[in-house]
Amino acid sequence: MSYLAIRDSAVEQIRAGMLPLFPGMRIEAHPGSFTEQSIRKDAQRAPAILTSLTRASDGVHDNGVTFVSWVLHRATSEDRLYDGALKIVSALIPVIRNAEFPLAIKDVRIEAECLYAGSLDAINVTMWAVRWELVLGERAFINGSPEDLGDAEGFDGTVSIGTAET
């Protein structure tokens, strides 16, 4: 499975879990971090959940992926404390926790952080970073999948190693 497929699966599962709760919410993949200018642009279609795969490791001791699901919310005159953003984050965490990832072997670790800033408040926007990690049970197959390798055939026989008797 490729990292692209893993990211797209995450976005689809978030979409499936969140749209029934927040119809019309924008839920998409995102390439990574934001600038203030890009937040201004993306916030035009808030509320939104934009998910980035921000780290991938295919090593011996660290075999996982890290995502950030960016929650963008615009305030209304009735919601000056951005309570709507907290409602979205509160719903998003269980959706992520209950998502099905066939390659994951451990429960996902989730952290949520409010990225409130005065410059964003000036445009009635708040942003949360919901960071979550999956530990994969097998290495991600970047150039294909185990199914692409075909069936491996073994052999029968006796193998002698060395000449000493034990």
Both tokens of 28, joined, read 């998409």
pLDDT of residue 60: 65
**Per residue in 13-71, pLDDT tens?**
999 999 999 999 999 999 988 888 888 888 888 999 999 999 988 766 677 889 999 99
Question: Domains, the chain, ranges and CATH?
Answer: 3-145 (3.30.2000)
Instruction: Identify the residue with better confidence: 148 or 78.
Output: 78
Contacts of 1 (CB under 8 A, 6+ apart): 102, 103, 140, 141, 145
Both tokens of 144, joined, read 């294909």
Is-above-0.85 flag for pTM? no
**Per residue in 80-139, pLDDT tens?**
789 999 999 999 999 999 988 877 776 678 999 999 988 888 889 999 999 999 887 765
Nearest of 16, 147, 10 to residue 91 by alpha carbon? 16
Strand duo 48-58 + 125-135: pairing = unpaired
CB 96 within 8 A of CB 73: no
Q: What percent of the chain has pLDDT above 90?
A: 44
Helix axes 83-98, 3-18, angle to 10 degrees: 120
CB 127 within 8 A of CB 71: yes
Distance CA 159, CA 166 (A): 15
Strand duo 26-29 + 48-58: pairing = parallel
Distance CA 76, CA 66 (A): 32
End-to-end CA distance of the chain, in Å? 46
